[in-house]
Amino acid sequence: MKQIPRTPMRIPKTPRAQPPASVAENRRDVCEKAQDPVNVFCRVRPLQSDADLTSLRVKNATTICLNPQDQLMQHHKPLPGAQREIQYIFKHVFQSDATQREVFAAVAQPLVENLIRGRNSLLFTYGVTGSGKTFTMTGNLRHRGIMPRCLDVLFRTISDYQAKKFVFKPDKLNGFEVLSEEDALLERQQEMNRRFAGGGRFGRKRKDSDPEIASQASVDPSPIAGLDEDNMYSVFVTYIEIYNNSVYDLLEVSGIQKTLQSKIIREDAKRHMFVHGVTEVEVKTVEEALEVFQMGQKRKRMGHTVLNAESSRSHSVFNIRLVQAPTDNQGENVIQDRQTITVSQLSLVDLAGSERSSRTKNTGVRLREAGNINNSLMTLRTCLEYLRENQQMCNAMGAAKKIPYRDSKITHMFKNYFDGEGQVSMIVCINPRIEDYDENMQVMKFAELTQEVQVARATPIITGLGLAPGRRRANKLFKIATNNLTELGISEAKELQVDLGLVYSLGPDFPSYQMNSPETEIKIQELMFYLEQRIEKRRQLRDSLKVKSDNFRQILMRMEQDNLQLRTEVASSKVVYKQERERSAALENKVRIHESSIDVLNNTLSKRERQIEELTYKLNEKENLLTQKEQEKEKQKKKFSSKLAVESDKKKREFEQKLREQRVKLQERMRIKDEKLRLVSNILQADDVPPSSLIRSQSSEDLLSDKNREGAFTARTETCVASTRMDIYATPRHGAIAANPRHRRSRSAGEKWLEHRSAKPIPLGTIMQPYLKNRKSVTKLTDLKELTGNGTTKYCLVSQEADTDGDVETKLYKGNVIPTCGGGAQVVFNDVECLKQKSPIHSPTRKRMSTGTLSALGGPSTVASVQDVAMRCNLGIEGHSSKKSKP
């Protein structure tokens, strides 16, 4: 394709590294091989509405013009200096009124001819979303596309020369093998059984929901000439799609799995790329092939976008593979040699449309699909661009670029078409609307790039077996003649035989001459020369036949001598064989005895092995349990260690905080005391203070409470008293939290005890057990709500220690829970119970308490010990009663 106008590309002349001699020779061979360019066709879609503006103009059958967008918006009035229209040249341009038959005849029919002649071909459609690619490739109910027309022409051509089903069988490695008539019959019988059992894959009836494809053409196409009538043919089809850069088989029998499994692309022995494990279905008619296509079409990914209601979200590839092989001497059966098989392939690719997310407004899954589609098309464009540059550098012998075929599945699959042999054609579908101007520009650039790529011309190698041409038709005519003679009553007709085997060719047929022209003498001379060559050829063949006969006779004589020698050896070998047979019979008896003993030992060994396995399994379970316990123990150890460290740090910080608070309190008390002493000294040292005022002030100081260290002083004069009171009452009060020690709850509410005891107490074992009605037991007092909440009025601290005699002594420190002004609570201990168990057998050396006695301890020492115990149990005591504890 040629773009006009176009700025010429300037390639800077930089020194290139010279490749090795072997690489240069290989590249020279590739460059010197016959090559054909990629055939690029263009098809313009009709406008959907008469009101739509078009962005292109078809100039003639090969040229199309693309108008700039600014001129279209200004009603084709170009401004001075504006960009001119761009012309693109294709091999052929199909206008909007072109029929499907015209497109097939110009594009696809030569590819079907290549398929019959054993050559590979590739045809793919390219364009933006909604430009008519699928319609061109598949068609609809009224207008058949390229794919059904290719199948129709192919089956019309080979209809009388098809092999029976399952004569050719795929070997799962992109090749085929020839089955015998018995094996093929068995395969056909198995398929018939599967269909009768309801397990047929493609034996279903057509439904209304199936894709609409015309089953018959309006005008029957004529068969293609040039078919080898001495070959047998079979057609296989595969249908795959490439979705999100993964290959899926649309004809795969999913079974239990509802989703298709992705496939891999491999390379066969002939360096052809194929999809490993793809389902190849043998078809015998067009209807059967279309039924297979419709089943795969229902699994194809389709989606709704803004630009197209049914947009293909994947690249689909429909492969038509033609397998042909020569027949035997009689022209009836296929020769059982897979080396004589010729496989050709026609790949019909419907590429997904390129689209911009700004126009389609795709999000989520649709956006991801569009990204993968655009990436694969960009990889295809990159590969073709590198391939074109490498072909242009063939003469320069520069360093070739590595073509990234593996970056995309679509390029990896068709790598052998561009690096190997075959014919490649492309149909560029264009939507002429002005809204698609930018996309059409990119499509035109890609088409221009593609047409400059050269592909090696396919030269299929068909093995010649030296069999007589036309043997199949001759055998058919011979059978017809034999049957006719038999019907006429000639019995000898059944015994007639015809030899259609190997023949020697004496040259081409005699040319036709007319002896009525002035050049008769010249024609006679040419005929004499031709006959002399033919006679010489016959003489050479006779001499060759004589030499071969003599050689064959000598070979027969040597074989006869060898045969006599072998007979003598066979006779002697029979005697030795009889002796060895008797000896082997005796050895067989011994072997049977040993085998029976070996079986017994094997059974015993298997039992022991099972026991070992069971014991090993149990041992492993025990080891696993021990390992789990060790891990759990180590985890608990780490957990408690970390918890202990945190608690110790917390207690340390609390102790330091309390110590700082106590220091602050003491300092404040000392300051208040110093202030009061200063005031008293000022009053005493005053000269005008009457004795009565001094006495009244002194008495006020005596009334100061020892507990709170606070009071009021009476001044000698009104001014002095006022100032003194202001100083005293302005001083903040410190010391214990203010509480009402006479606070008492109503007895009707009941007493609720909070019992503070250790986690694992030692059983008391005494006769008189402590009884606390309506109690709650805790092992650790960390939350203040346990004292203030739930109406708790009593507190009991249980302490167990061993005395000097080794007996367990249990002490119960009891107290009242009194709320404080700050919303907290304090415990005032007022009672201590001591429980001790004594043995009645041993007489105590000193006075002991009897079993189950209830002792009452009091005094300051008792209260001090209660404070020590409370401090050890993390319970802060704010005050205590000075009276004795009650029993």
Specify burial of residue 327 (Cβ count, 10 A radius: 0-12, 13-18, 19+).
buried
Beta strand 302-303 with 63-66: parallel, antiparallel or unpaired? unpaired
Tokens (6 digits) for 807: 């007996």
Residue 411, marked binder: no
Q: Is the alpha carbon torsion for 272, 274, 276, 278 positive or negative?
A: negative
pLDDT tens per residue across span 40-56? 999 999 888 777 788 88
pLDDT of residue 612: 95
Task: In whole angstroms, give the CA distance from residue 654 to residue 636.
Answer: 26
- Cβ atoms of 324 and 118 closer than 8 Å: yes
As assigned by CATH, the class of the 747-872 domain is mainly beta
pLDDT of residue 39: 92
Task: In whole angstroms, give the CA distance from residue 731 to residue 674.
Answer: 12
Look at 498 and 172; give whichever has higher pLDDT: 172
Look at 572 and 859; give whichever has higher pLDDT: 572
Tokens (6 digits) for 151: 């199948």
pLDDT tens per residue across span 311-338? 567 889 999 999 999 888 777 888 888 8
pLDDT of residue 873 exceeding 60, the answer is: no
The whole-angstrom distance between residue 75's C-alpha and the CA centroid of its chain comes to 52
pLDDT of residue 346 exceeding 50, the answer is: yes
Residue 127, marked binder: yes
pLDDT of residue 33: 64
pLDDT of residue 468 exceeding 60, the answer is: yes
Query: 832 by DSSP, 3-state: which?
Result: strand
Residue 259, marked binder: no
Task: In whole angstroms, give the CA distance from residue 536 to residue 551.
Answer: 23
pLDDT of residue 154 exceeding 90, the answer is: yes
In sequence order, the 6+-apart residues with CB closer than 8 A to the CB of 194 are 200
Residue 459, marked binder: no
Task: In whole angstroms, give the CA distance from residue 693 to residue 700.
Answer: 10
pLDDT of residue 691: 46
pLDDT of residue 854: 34
The number of residues making up the chain comes to 887
Q: What are phi and psi of 164, to 5 degrees?
A: -65, 155
At residue 535 the predicted structure's pLDDT band, cuts being 50, 70 and 90, is: confident
pLDDT of residue 72: 52
pLDDT of residue 475: 80
pLDDT of residue 855: 35
At residue 884 the predicted structure's pLDDT band, cuts being 50, 70 and 90, is: very low
Helices marked H in 83-145 — which ranges? 100-103, 109-116, 133-137
Residue 363, marked binder: no
128 DSSP β-pair partners: 354
pLDDT of residue 793 exceeding 60, the answer is: yes
113 DSSP β-pair partners: none
Question: pTM for this one?
Answer: 0.54
Torsion region of 332: left, alpha or beta (phi above 0 gives left; psi -120 to 50 gives alpha): alpha
What is the end-to-end Cα distance of the chain in Å, rounded? 118
Percent pLDDT > 90 in the chain is: 28
pLDDT tens per residue across span 546-601? 888 898 899 889 999 999 999 999 999 999 999 999 999 999 999 999 999 999 99
What is the CATH architecture of 16-456? Answer: 3-Layer(aba) Sandwich (3.40)
Look at 259 and 432; give whichever has higher pLDDT: 432
pLDDT of residue 721: 33
pLDDT tens per residue across span 636-693? 999 899 999 999 999 999 999 999 999 999 999 999 999 999 998 888 887 544 444 4
Closest CA to 260 of 275, 273, 247: 247
Give residue limits of the domains in the chain. 16-456, 469-503, 516-685, 691-730, 747-872
pLDDT of residue 618: 94
- Cβ atoms of 36 and 423 closer than 8 Å: yes
pLDDT of residue 705: 40
Mean pLDDT in residue range 597-614: 94
- When mean pLDDT is compared across 194-208, 372-386, 464-478, 791-805, the lowest value belongs to 194-208
- When mean pLDDT is compared across 317-331, 459-473, 533-547, 737-751, the lowest value belongs to 737-751
Mean pLDDT in residue range 404-423: 87
pLDDT of residue 774: 84
Mean pLDDT in residue range 182-208: 70
**Range among 70-74, 147-151, 782-786 rated most confident:** 147-151
Residue 203, marked binder: no
pLDDT of residue 614: 94
pLDDT of residue 199: 52
Task: In whole angstroms, give the CA distance from residue 659 to residue 664.
Answer: 9
Query: What is the DSSP secondary-structure string of 678-701?
Result: HHHHHHHH-SS--HHHHHHHHHHH
Mean pLDDT in residue range 196-202: 57
Task: In whole angstroms, give the CA distance from residue 204 to residue 215.
Answer: 16
Look at 587 and 73; give whichever has higher pLDDT: 587
Task: In whole angstroms, give the CA distance from residue 684 to residue 698.
Answer: 10
pLDDT of residue 819: 83
pLDDT tens per residue across span 103-122? 999 999 999 999 998 899 99
Integer CA distances (angstroms), 344 to 112, 157, 424, 772, in order: 10, 15, 14, 102
Percent pLDDT > 70 in the chain is: 71
pLDDT of residue 255 exceeding 60, the answer is: no
pLDDT of residue 860: 36
Q: What are phi and psi of 128, to 5 degrees?
A: -80, 170
pLDDT tens per residue across span 697-718? 443 344 334 334 333 333 333 3
- When mean pLDDT is compared across 472-486, 582-596, 797-811, 838-852, the lowest value belongs to 838-852
| Mean predicted lDDT score pLDDT of the chain | 76
Task: In whole angstroms, give the CA distance from residue 197 to residue 223.
Answer: 38
